[in-house]
Structure formats: structure tokens, C-alpha cells
């Protein structure tokens, strides 16, 4: 087997070569998509002694697959974990993590700005079927977590930066608090990707990415991953993925491996464009406020510098006007298309609060008129001129 450790120092080498064993597939530079549902064994003992962590032994496609394993090894290396698991969606990864970290009657502390469907899972299914209670905090200071975390708390759910108003949590401080109470820290790291932030190094226990965003990178795949630093926790997650059945398909895993190859160069461009766009918006007379952690005016800029190496292409802003004017502006854009999701090549615009009541908006932060944009790869000047023309319409 080739010596893989030489790739581990550099995230680009991990994306290009780590976890791949060319000699096993005729030295093809791209790994095959193993579309098999099962693998066969020489003897029954071989079958019964099969180890789910062995990279060279496979049994059944819901348990593990060689193409999926290449993706997982790369993610684990990029996140400095002992292992990673890939799922059919970000939500499959998230729900498997919650069901592994929690038990009936567990207490969870979650930030208000966590991904909406995950909050719905906690307050809906988990509450109804497992009597799991969740307290929500804004999460800008560790003191807010201290007010709710007790020895009954099993899980703290973070997303830093959050993907609408881009609030940050102090990952190291919250992780120390969690450890003192025997709780696990789960963090959605989709916004930063492993290139710009490594939460396991800061004390978090479970890192989640929806690979539907930057890791896929081309808006052609749905998937998710979890990375962890503890072998015991990894084993429990492996068991639960097998039981819940959420493994990603080999074709999707292959697309994610392909996405990873260019992720870092794409991110550098997304960030450079988003920074220019944020600066343009910040000085525009029709814009009241810009939410982007890369701007020195961001209230948590110092914390950002401490735990992140960069920011990606997603940002929000509030126009100096009501939601109807923001909607008109969004519909006047030509290059930015109206759509949810982000992380692909294309620029997108969305008004996530347009139909919420004022009270919910206040709790989440950001008014009804907040506009979220994803800065794609169409070119900085073209995107700024698109925004300039649309802002001139209101």
C-alpha cells in the first residue's frame, strides 16, 4: 500500500491524493464508482470476523462502500479527526448525530440560528417521541450557554458562523463548558468548510458538513458528513448509520470527491468576491447593514480571527426599506437567481424572513427585509454591477 502520511500536512494534497490507492484500480487517477450492493467472501469465518473499520474489507452497501470510504478518509484528514462518515444528506448526518448523542429524556442546548429543519427535528420528533427538551440561546457569549447547560445536558448544537445572520460562537469556550458537564458539542461547519475552520481542534466533538454546499460545489448533489475525534463515538455512529440506513450512494460520494479537488481554489475565489461585494454593499446609501464575518465592522470580528482562517461566499444585508422593496430588488437581479441553498458555482439570492412575523425575526436577528446572497464564480465585477442596477430599481 502507498504511504499516505506524506499527504497529511497539506489540505490540497489531501483533496487530490489522500485516501486513494491507485494500485488497487489499475493506477487510474480517478477512483472507480463501486456500484456493487454487496461483496463476497472466501470463507464463512472471513464473513463473521469482518471488521467495519478495515479499509480493505467490505460486506454490504448500507454498511460501507470503497468509493464512500475514500471520501470519508479525506474528510477525516481535512477535519483532523479519527474518522468520518458520509450520509445521503446533511439532515441524515445531523439526525444520526443527535440520535447518537442523545437518549430519551436528554437535554439539548441549541443556538437560535441553527439550521431550521434541525431545530424542527429537536422540537418536533425528539420532543414528541423521546421527551428530549431543547433550550435555545443566541449564543454570542459563553455566559448564555452557562445559563442553560446542566449535568443533564447531553448535547450542545452550534453553527458558527450561522448561515443567515453570521453570528459566531466561541467554540473553544463552549467546548470547555460542555466537557465540564459531560455534554457533547456538535457543530455545523458547512459555511467555513474544513479549509477555513477545524472545530475538532478547538474542542468540538462532532463536526457536520452538508456536502450539498461547497464540498459538492456544483449544485448537482445532496449529501452530508460527520467527522469525530473519538474512536468510541465513531463506533457508535457507524452502528447507528447502519441501523438508520442513511449512507450516501457511491455515485454521490464520487461527485463529492470530485468537488473536493477544487474546493480550496473555489473557496479562495468565493471569499475574494464576497469581500468585495460586502464592501460595496456596506458603503451603498440604500443598504442599512451588512452581515459578513470578513468585514472588520462585524461585531465578532476578533473571535472570527481567532477561530477561522477565512470566510466563504455567503452573506446577508438589510436594505434601507421594507421587505417589499427588498423583494423588488431581489427580483430585479439578473445574474443572482432566486433560490435556497448555496455553495455552488452560481450566485443566488433569497429573502428568508419575508413571511415571518416581527417577533420571530427579532428572535433570529435580522429584519423581514434581510436579503441573503451567495456570491458565485461568475466574476466580481459582474456581480457588483448586477447588485448596483437592482438597488437602483428601489
Ligand X SMILES: *Cc1c(COP(=O)(O)O)cnc(C)c1O
We find the least distance from the C-beta atom of residue 87 to ligand X, in angstroms, to be 8
Q: Report the residue number, 280 or 316, with the smaller CB distance to ligand X.
A: 316
Q: Report the residue number, 18 or 292, with the smaller CB distance to ligand X.
A: 292
Q: Report the residue number, 198 or 212, with the smaller CB distance to ligand X.
A: 212
Tell me the pairing of strands 314-319 and 370-374: antiparallel
We find the least distance from the C-beta atom of residue 350 to ligand X, in angstroms, to be 11
Phi (first) and psi of residue 309, to 5 degrees: -105, -5
Virtual torsion, Cα 252, 67, 254, 72, nearest 10 deg: 80
Q: Report the residue number, 224 or 250, with the smaller CB distance to ligand X.
A: 224
Residue nearest to ligand X (CB): 90
300-316 burial: b if 16+ Cβ within 10 Å, else e: beebbeebbebbbbbbb
Q: List all residues 6 or more positions away from 128 whose beta carbon is below 8 Å from its beta carbon.
A: none
Q: What angle do CA 151, 156, 162 make, to 5 degrees?
A: 160
User: What's the DSSP call for residue 53?
Assistant: T
Q: Report the residue number, 134 or 210, with the smaller CB distance to ligand X.
A: 210
We find the least distance from the C-beta atom of residue 90 to ligand X, in angstroms, to be 2
Nearest to 225 by CA among 30, 93, 27: 93
We find the least distance from the C-beta atom of residue 222 to ligand X, in angstroms, to be 5
Chain residues in the site for ligand X (CB under 6 A): 89-91, 115, 159, 163, 188, 190, 210, 212-213, 222, 224
Q: Report the residue number, 10 or 120, with the smaller CB distance to ligand X.
A: 120
We find the least distance from the C-beta atom of residue 239 to ligand X, in angstroms, to be 21
Distance CA 133, CA 126 (A): 8
We find the least distance from the C-beta atom of residue 290 to ligand X, in angstroms, to be 20
> Of all helices (H) and strands (E), which one includes residue 334?
none
Alpha helices, DSSP H, located in the chain:
11-16, 44-48, 66-78, 90-101, 116-121, 127-130, 142-146, 171-180, 193-196, 231-244, 250-282, 301-307, 323-332, 358-364, 380-392
Contacts 24+ apart (CB under 8 A), 122-131: 122/98, 122/157, 126/98, 126/102, 130/102, 130/103, 130/104, 130/105, 130/106, 131/104, 131/105
Q: Report the residue number, 156 or 391, with the smaller CB distance to ligand X.
A: 156
Q: Report the residue number, 20 or 188, with the smaller CB distance to ligand X.
A: 188
Tell me the pairing of strands 337-338 and 348-350: parallel
Number of H helices, E strands in the chain: 15, 12
We find the least distance from the C-beta atom of residue 225 to ligand X, in angstroms, to be 10
We find the least distance from the C-beta atom of residue 221 to ligand X, in angstroms, to be 9
We find the least distance from the C-beta atom of residue 160 to ligand X, in angstroms, to be 11
Alpha-carbon torsion (120, 125, 128, 134), positive or negative:
negative
Q: Report the residue number, 193 or 369, with the smaller CB distance to ligand X.
A: 193
Amino acid at each position: 500500500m502507498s504511504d499516505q502520511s506524506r499527504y497529511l500536512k497539506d489540505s490540497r494534497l489531501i483533496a487530490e491524493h489522500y485516501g486513494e490507492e491507485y494500485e488497487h484500480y489499475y493506477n487510474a487517477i480517478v477512483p472507480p464508482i463501486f456500484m456493487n450492493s454487496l461483496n463476497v467472501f472466501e470463507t464463512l469465518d472471513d464473513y463473521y470476523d469482518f471488521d467495519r473499520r478495515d479499509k480493505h474489507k467490505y460486506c454490504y452497501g448500507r454498511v460501507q462502500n470503497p468509493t464512500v470510504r475514500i471520501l470519508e478518509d479525506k474528510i477525516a484528514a481535512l477535519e483532523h479527526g479519527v474518522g468520518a462518515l458520509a450520509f445521503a444528506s446533511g439532515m441524515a448526518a445531523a439526525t444520526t448525530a443527535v440520535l447518537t448523542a442523545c437518549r430519551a429524556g436528554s437535554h439539548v442546548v441549541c443556538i437560535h440560528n441553527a439550521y431550521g429543519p434541525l431545530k424542527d427535528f429537536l422540537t418536533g420528533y425528539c420532543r414528541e417521541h423521546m421527551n428530549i427538551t431543547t433550550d435555545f440561546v443566541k449564543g454570542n457569549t459563553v455566559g448564555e450557554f452557562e445559563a442553560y447547560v446542566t449535568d443533564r445536558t447531553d448535547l450542545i448544537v452550534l453553527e458558527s458562523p450561522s448561515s443567515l445572520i453570521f453570528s459566531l460562537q466561541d467554540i473553544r469556550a463552549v467546548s470547555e463548558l460542555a466537557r465540564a458537564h459531560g455534554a457533547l458539542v456538535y457543530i455545523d461547519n458547512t459555511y467555513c468548510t474544513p479549509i477555513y475552520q477545524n472545530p475538532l481542534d478547538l474542542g468540538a466533538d462532532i463536526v457536520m458538513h452538508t456536502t450539498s454546499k461547497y464540498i459538492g460545489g456544483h449544485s448537482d448533489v445532496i449529501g452530508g458528513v460527520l467527522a469525530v475525534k473519538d474512536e468510541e463515538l465513531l463506533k457508535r455512529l457507524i452502528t447507528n448509520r447502519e441501523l438508520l440506513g442513511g449512507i450516501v450512494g457511491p455515485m454521490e460520494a464520487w461527485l463529492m470527491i470530485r468537488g473536493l479537488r477544487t474546493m480550496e481554489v473555489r473557496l479562495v475565489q468565493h471569499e475574494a468576491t464576497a469581500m468585495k461585494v460586502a464592501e460595496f454593499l456596506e458603503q451603498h446609501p440604500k443598504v442599512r447593514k451588512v452581515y459578513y464575518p470578513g468585514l472588520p465592522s462585524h461585531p465578532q470580528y476578533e473571535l472570527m480571527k481567532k477561530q477561522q482562517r477565512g470566510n466563504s461566499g455567503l452573506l446577508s444585508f438589510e436594505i434601507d426599506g421594507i421587505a417589499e422593496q427588498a423583494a423588488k430588488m431581489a427580483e430585479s437581479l439578473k445574474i443572482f437567481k432566486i433560490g435556497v441553498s448555496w455553495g455552488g458555482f452560481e450566485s443566488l439570492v433569497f429573502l428568508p424572513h419575508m413571511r415571518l412575523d416581527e417577533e420571530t425575526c427579532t428572535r433570529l436577528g435580522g429584519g423581514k427585509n434581510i436579503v441573503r446572497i451567495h456570491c458565485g464564480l461568475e466574476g466580481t465585477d459582474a456581480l457588483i454591477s448586477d447588485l448596483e442596477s437592482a438597488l437602483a430599481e428601489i
